[in-house]
Amino acid sequence: MTTWKPDPTFYPSPGLAMEGPTEDLAYVASFWRDEGEPQKDALAVVDVDPASDRYGSVVGWCEMPNVGDELHHHGWNACSSALCPNNPHPHVERRYLLMMGLRSSRIHFVDVKSDPRNPTIAKIIEPEDYKKASGYSRPHTAHCGPEGIYVTNLGTAEGDEGPGGIALLDHDTFQVKGQWEKDRGSQYLAYDFWWHLNRDVMVTSEWGTPSMIENGVNPELLLANKYGHKIHFFDLRTRKHLQEVDLGAQHQMALELRPSHDPNKEYGFLGVVISTEDLSGSIWCWYKDGDEFKARKIFTVPAEPADPDLLPPALKPFGAVPPLITDIDLSVDDKFLYVSCFGTGEAIQLDVTDPFNPVKTGSLRCGGIVSKAAHPSQPDEPLAGAPQMVEISRDGKRVYWTNSLYGAWDDQFYPDGVGAWMIKADIDTENGGMSLDERFFPHGADFRGNRVHQTHLGGGDASSDSYCFS
């Protein structure tokens, strides 16, 4: 829908975004994973207004029409990048969430503006139509940007192999315009992407092709260092590959990318799931050095020794729990980086004011393969899963986590079941530190038997918008 004035949830700078109104609803992707009677994936609406009498409850539910999509990541059709002077799209509005089926390749456009507590599906791109128009399959991450909606994909349209890459969709009509890359260079594996808008640079990361990830982590591929371990830099305007940075083959699965929100800075953070040398996970910082991009490992989370009897089959030979860093998120003021450890159940807060010298300022635990740490509101209830997908409010004062990673990975590392839960922490934004909110713990039947994955907050959050002004 065309508007005469810019959408009030668009902000020209991260500083102004932090001054915006606080969120009152959270939109959570939920999916069914072969447990009980088949049921449909859904977008769950969670009340996150502490003053509401339904605070911490699921207050809305929008079912997808098919079974087996496996909703995973989702993204907005439009965001603050629409205000960039070189990419003016001020007429668009933040109205639709793209709910993408990682297994089905089906994309749903869900209208959350007409009735925020009762979203409805406005349009669906069926898998065959998407594959034919884009040349890709298995859509993963979506960002709103200069030329429309960008969607990264793990595989080609023809099958379960690569190269994966990015498809471009029209802001207004949602027409799939086709593949974004003009020259992909050495890039073959795909996962996440983001950019430095004012520098015309796109950054992409690597996981695996659909055949490599479909049934969980393949130990043979992992120990042979076959999963992704590089990041790639593209010219955002010419769509041509500029450079790759190889982290070293042992650093397997280079996943989430979080560039600085300040558009005058040219660095960002990357989470690496596991090292095949010692099972550790790591955080890296990419940066520009002269004409080259480089990346430096800045933080390591070690594996934790464990009784093999308490470990799932895949980990018994190692006698340890790897942290499995599967998500990270950067506060809008670029001060705190949050690190999710799907293996140990730890959520870490790092002060990254000096991006090369992070300081650990907070830690909490829920779930975990061995620890099964409980939520403080129900201290006698061990939890499966772990703080995984992490989302930060624009002002940085609240952080939310959900506990499922990907159906096949959940089953591999939590074979007794992963359940479904969502937690929230209040943040000391001055000195660092996290405190779990005992009032906020939607879980179990609240999500109607579905597992829960990515969250976006009403009006935007720390992982949804890009800015062109400091």
- Tell me: the pLDDT tens digits for 22-55? 999 999 999 999 888 889 999 999 999 999 999 9
Give the integer Cα–Cα distance in Å for 223 and 225: 5
Q: What is the DSSP letter of 95?
A: -
Residues 6+ apart with CB under 8 A from 46: 25, 26, 27, 28, 56, 57, 58, 59, 422, 442, 455
* DSSP-assigned letters across all residues of 312-356: -TTTGGGTEE---EEEEEE-TTS-EEEEEETTT-EEEEEE-SSTT
Q: Measured between alpha carbons, how far is 154 from 140 in angstroms, rounded to an integer? A: 7
Neighbours of 132 (CB within 10 A): 11
How many CA atoms does the CB half-sphere of 360 hold within 13 Å?
A: 11
E strand or H helix at 452, and its extent? strand 451-457
Within 13 Å, how many C-alpha atoms sit on residue 269's CB side? 30
Distance CA 226, CA 400 (A): 32
Determine the pLDDT at residue 88.
Answer: 65
pLDDT tier at 5 (50, 70, 90 boundaries)?
confident
Lowest mean pLDDT among 84-93, 130-139, 357-366, 453-462: 84-93
Q: How far apart are CA 367 and CA 387, in angstroms?
A: 8
Q: What is the mean pLDDT of residues 162-188?
A: 96
pLDDT over 60 (residue 338): yes
pLDDT reported for residue 2: 60
| Nearest CA-CA partner of 469 in 81, 20, 202 | 81
Pull the structure tokens for residue 324: 């499995």
Q: Please check whether residue 207 is in contact with residue 255, taking contact to mean a CB–CB distance below 8 angstroms.
A: yes
In 3D space, the residue among 332, 362, 330 whose CA is nearest the CA of residue 347 turns out to be: 362
pLDDT tens profile 379-393 = 999 999 999 999 999
How confident is the model at residue 149, as a pLDDT?
A: 97
Q: Is omega for the bond preceding 21 within 30 degrees of 0, making it cis? A: no
pLDDT at 422: 98
Which residue has 């010298």 as its token pair? 357
- Give residue 1's pLDDT: 56
Maximum distance among all alpha carbons in the chain?
Answer: 63
Residue 336 has pLDDT above 60, yes or no: yes
**What is the structure's pLDDT at 69?**
97
pLDDT at 326 over 90: yes
What pTM did the predictor assign? 0.98
The token pair at 427 is 């943040």
Confidence (pLDDT) at 3: 66
- Return the residue matching tokens 């209040």: 426
**Using 50, 70 and 90 to split pLDDT, how confident is the model at 238?**
very high
Question: Each residue of 61-105: pLDDT tens digit?
Answer: 999 999 999 999 999 999 999 999 877 677 899 999 999 999 999
